[in-house]
Copies of this chain bind each other. A is one copy, B any other.
């Protein structure tokens, strides 16, 4: 008797993932909201609330961008997928763990700024999420027909992401005081791909 479970519909898992990511995204505002009663207690003006909290605001913007970006890739990955299996549900749970835990390193960023341990924790979570997305892409291509599996463009986007995160990590280690700016490399993953193609690392 075969022990393999029958394939599952993708819809509910993507739905569950969407809901978790949407909540993680929305919870990011809570530390900003909590600044307000603290400021009132200290008799600060509205102007001081904003100018005195640039680090939390930056941390909010960074994490908003990061979670949104991770979700976008997940979105594209499953866009045409109908069937998943237990293995994919398991890999997806690691992705979910990264998304759900992210508000913790984000709060560390808001509190400790550019401490090196904090930065590596933050980028580490992003890197693991990037690896799980790549693993998801490969697993999806194994069980789905070519027309509904994630295509080459998506796989390449994932490679661009992983390379951008690896570069960001390296820059953080090499350039003291680089802080979180290296993460903006995520915006440049398209250009990184072009570069990899030119160098012949990826077939064009």
Contact = CB atoms under 8 A, between A and B. Distances in A.
A182 to B, nearest CB: 19
Interface of A: 1, 3, 5-6, 8-9, 12-16, 18-33, 36-37, 39-40, 45-47, 49-50, 60, 64, 68, 71-72, 75-76, 78-80, 89, 93, 96-97, 100-104, 107-108, 110-112, 115, 117-118, 121, 151, 153, 190, 204
The 9 closest A-B pairs by CB, nearest first: A19-B22, A23-B26, A20-B22, A36-B107, A32-B104, A33-B107, A46-B117, A16-B18, A36-B111
Nearest to A115: B46
B24 A26 contact: yes
Nearest to A21: B16
B46 A76 contact: no
A46 B110 CA distance: 12
Given A25-B100, A26-B24, A36 B75 contact: no
Given A29-B101, A100-B64, A101-B29, A16 B153 contact: no
B29 A108 contact: no
Contacts of A37: 107, 111
Given A13-B75, A16-B71, A36-B111, A64 B97 contact: yes
Contact of A117 (B8, B19, B47, B151): B47
